[in-house]
Amino acid sequence: MKFAFILDPLDHIKAYKDSSVAMMREAQARGHEVWAIMRPSLAWRAGAVHAAASRLVVREDHLDWFEASVPEDAPLGAFDAVVMRQDPPFDMEYVAATWLLERAQAGGVRVFNDPRAVRDTSEKLAILEFPRLIPETLVAREPEALQAFIETVGDAILKPLDGMGGSQVFRVRRDDPNRNVIVETLTAHGVRTIMAQCFLPAIAQGDKRILLIGGEVVPFALARIPKPGETRGNLAAGGTGVAQPLGARDKEIAGHLAPILHARGLLLAGIDVIGDCLTEINVTSPTCFVEITQQTAFNVAGLFIDALERACAA
């Protein structure tokens, strides 16, 4: 089969830990062709969505990890599947890409994750569909409402709705002298909606990334443990990733979400769980394949390519 991956610029990818690279290595090892597309080249013309695509040879070397052919124009229908793996920010250009991919899908192209599902699943707000699974939460833009929430819970996490990697995530206590300016900055003085959640002390044991692939739950989570003096466990913020078997509550949350998200066309999702609470649902480019595989020998990329092959054969 021919699989096209929409990626960040290849020379910016850190192959030693990148989940997309793990996917491509696994696909190539099974004899599939692997192609790379840069999102800016997506275009509608002559009745179809096209892109500049390069055939890749993917190596095990983490520095010199790929060889790419000269990009050639191709309709997306030339591929058995197109896998959208570009990182956020989820801005209007990302949204435009989902619209184009949706047109390709309407023409018979298999696109994963489903572009409409990606567009409709806010990685922060999607948890609101499952209120019994989440911590005490407020979504608002009015500073007065946010201040009242902080006053009530006493210790809160505030974050923008479009961030990733722990960017602009603040812990704000009731007596924090910077409380007002943090609320003003995040809401742009009341014109930008943000999320506030009660602080979960269980973050000290890690922000657990649990992967859902093809409706199945990967049996290991990556607990991203904050470095000393931090409240963010994100690996991008210096957290340490420790793979561990799922606990009973992890299995309950993941088992509930896996079939629901899969039915919506989300072949791959990464849910974040702190303690007993669901905090995010990641659908754009979920990661942690490599860390889980290295620490447990469970072949996460293999499970993903299994699901991709099944989806293409359906």
3-state secondary structure the chain: CEEEEEECCHHHCCCCCCHHHHHHHHHHHCCCEEEEEEHHHCEEECCEEEEEEEEEEECCCCCCCEEECCCEEEEHHHCCEEEECCCCCCCHHHHHHHHHHHHHHHCCCCEECCHHHHHHCCCCHHHHHCHHHCCCEEEECCHHHHHHHHHHHCEEEEEECCCCCCCCCEEEECCCCCHHHHHHHHHCCCCCCEEEEECCHHHHHCEEEEEEECCEECCEEEEEECCCCCCCCCHHHCCEEEEEECCHHHHHHHHHHHHHHHHCCCCEEEEEEECCEEEEEECCCCCCHHHHHHHHCCCHHHHHHHHHHHHHHC
Q: What is the pLDDT of residue 296?
A: 98
280 catalytically annotated: yes
Q: What is the pLDDT of residue 239?
A: 84
Among candidate residues 159, 179, 207, 309, the one labeled active-site is: 159
272 catalytically annotated: yes
Among candidate residues 224, 234, 291, 309, the one labeled active-site is: 224
Among candidate residues 124, 179, 207, 250, the one labeled active-site is: 124
Q: What band does 89 get if pLDDT is binned at 50, 70 and 90?
A: confident
232 catalytically annotated: yes
* DSSP, res 60: S
User: How do residues 186-215 score in pLDDT, each as one tens digit?
Assistant: 999 999 999 999 999 999 999 999 999 999
Q: What is the pLDDT of residue 168?
A: 85
Q: What is the pLDDT of residue 164?
A: 72
Neighbours of 18 (CB within 10 A): 21
Q: What is the pLDDT of residue 238?
A: 80
What average pLDDT does the structure give for the chain? 95
Q: What is the pTM of this model?
A: 0.94
Average pLDDT rounded to a whole number, residues 90-114: 96
Average pLDDT rounded to a whole number, residues 62-79: 96
Q: What is the pLDDT of residue 163?
A: 76
| CA–CA separation, 166 and 121 (whole Å) | 19
pLDDT over 80 (residue 236): no
Among candidate residues 18, 250, 280, 309, the one labeled active-site is: 280
User: How do residues 255-314 score in pLDDT, each as one tens digit?
Assistant: 999 999 999 999 999 999 999 999 999 999 999 999 999 999 999 999 999 999 999 998
| CA–CA separation, 69 and 59 (whole Å) | 14
224 catalytically annotated: yes
282 catalytically annotated: yes
2 catalytically annotated: no
250 catalytically annotated: no
Among candidate residues 207, 232, 250, 291, the one labeled active-site is: 232
124 catalytically annotated: yes
Average pLDDT rounded to a whole number, residues 126-155: 97
Average pLDDT rounded to a whole number, residues 86-97: 91
Residue at 87: amino acid letter? D
Among candidate residues 80, 85, 209, 234, the one labeled active-site is: 209
Average pLDDT rounded to a whole number, residues 61-81: 96
- Which are the contacts of 173, defined by CB distance < 8 A and separation ≥ 6? 150, 154, 155, 156, 179
Q: What band does 4 get if pLDDT is binned at 50, 70 and 90?
A: very high
User: How do residues 155-173 score in pLDDT, each as one tens digit?
Assistant: 999 999 987 777 889 999 9
Q: What is the pLDDT of residue 151?
A: 97
Domains and CATH numbers, the chain: 2-118 (3.40.50.20), 136-199 (3.30.1490.20), 202-313 (3.30.470.20)
Among candidate residues 80, 114, 282, 309, the one labeled active-site is: 282
